[in-house]
Amino acid sequence: MALGDRDPDRAGWGMRVAVLVAVAVATALVVGGIPGLLVGAGDRAAALNTTEYDPAELGTERIPANGTVAVGDGGDGTVVIDRSHTNRFSRTDIDPLYGALSRAGYDVAIHDRGDLAPALANASAVVVIDPAVEYDEADTDALAAFTEGGGRLLVLGEPNRVVVGGGLGGVTTSQRHSHLANLAAEFDLDFSTGYVYHQRAHDGYYKNPLAEPVGDAAGNGADVALYTAATVRSTGDGDPVLRMRPGGRLSGSDEVRPYPVAVRDGNVLAVGDASFVAPGRYNVGDNERFLSYVVAFLAGGERPDDPAGADAGRDGGDGTDGDGRDGTPTGSDSGTPGTTPTPAGTPSGTPEPTGTPEPTGTSEPAGTPEPTGTPSGPGTPGT
């Protein structure tokens, strides 16, 4: 074909492409302009003026971190920290708790494989932190028998959150939650999937709300800072230990009230946050007082084969054997397979942070609503 000749088919295709482009541009202009036509400037301003979210009243001030964990000495026993259920923590994450137990004279053993029952035989207390695998019937039965025999159980859970990852394939997201359904059901506990927050009473960020003790149950601390915490509700005889400050909220719920975030039922203590014991957080506000309370709670446990703790059960309460005598265990062995013991008195180097860092990490709670209004959705009742 000569250079001056026109191809009628090519000319027709060019015309059709031009028409399609014109239609797309016109559609974008119409769709983009409709909101401006339907909603005036006054309406848009009114939509932002909600009583639930007033930017002028949002606090951003961080709470000082300068306390120390006070513990007794002369303890004699073993505290087992379970990691056999793919529990999400590192040694550094729990260093303040680990160090406080060691300074109190207790051996701390990490149980990283196998059934729990053999590890509990020589223990006076056990700690469960944010498991990624459910506890099966054998393990829940072992823990139930352990607490009935006078042992203490501390459970630290977390709400649902979204984990954001990345790589050569791009950004990925996945759901993560504490697998505590079986264990919580065994001890009449209910951890919420949503997280609690407060827009004024918090440690610099609304997802780091302040809780306050119920009575004198948490070492008389006034401001316990939590970091993306779940509510904890007892469906049995447990009593709240910590509650949100008045004005607290739960994601996915319209109800505003002081939700419980820690519950105790005799020899079982459950907290809806696993990160308040971390370096840089354990001594924010009055957190060190609450951590001292947690250590004292664990120290009050009895070995299951100790006659003094045989009748303690879940109603052991204050760690005595019923007639006021302190039931501190008198010794422990440390040869349980799958358990790595740490001798009592070994310094763990609990750090004194120079400041309170901003919370870091790659996970955010599932369905995190920015506080632009009252969250909607079915409420999650609490105690």
Please report the sign of the dihedral spanned by the C-alpha atoms of residue 276, residue 277, residue 280, residue 282: positive
The owner of tokens 């088919």 is 9
The owner of tokens 């799958």 is 338
DSSP 350-367: ----SS-PPP--SEEETT
Non-local CB neighbours of 213 within 8 Å, separated by 6+ positions: 219, 220, 221, 222, 224, 241, 242, 290
pLDDT of residue 311: 40
pLDDT of residue 202: 94
pLDDT of residue 339: 52
DSSP 286-338: THHHHHHHHHHHHHT---TT-GGGTTTGGGGTTTB-SSS-B----------TT
pLDDT of residue 175: 81
Give the strand pairing for 268-271 and 260-265.
Answer: antiparallel
Backbone φ and ψ of 44, nearest 5°: -65, -40
Show the CA angle centred on residue 201, arms to residues 198 and 203, nearest 5°.
95
Backbone φ and ψ of 79, nearest 5°: -105, 120
pLDDT of residue 220: 64
- pLDDT-flagged residues of the chain (< 70): 1-59, 217-221, 305-383
How would you label 48-78 residue by residue, b for 16+ Cβ within 10 Å and e otherwise? eeeeebeeeeeeeebbebebebebeeebbbb
Q: Report yes or no: 232 and 263 within 8 Å, Cβ to Cβ.
A: yes
Cβ-in-10-Å burial (0-12, 13-18, 19+) of 313 comes to middle
pLDDT of residue 302: 85
- Percent pLDDT > 70 in the chain is 62
pLDDT of residue 27: 57
Domain borders along the chain are: 10-48, 78-365
SS3 state of residue 104 = coil
Sheet with 339-342, strands from edge to edge, namely 224-225, 210-213, 239-244, 260-265, 268-271, 152-156, 125-129, 78-82, 107-111, 339-342
Quote the tokens at residue 201.
């009473």
Homologous superfamily (CATH) of 78-365 is Class I glutamine amidotransferase (GATase) domain (3.40.50.880)
pLDDT of residue 293: 92
pLDDT of residue 16: 61
pLDDT of residue 167: 74
Distance (Å, whole) CA 332 – CA 112: 19
Dmax (CA) of the chain: 112
pLDDT of residue 26: 57
Q: Quick one: which H or E segment has residue 64?
A: none
Distance (Å, whole) CA 195 – CA 380: 10
pLDDT of residue 39: 41
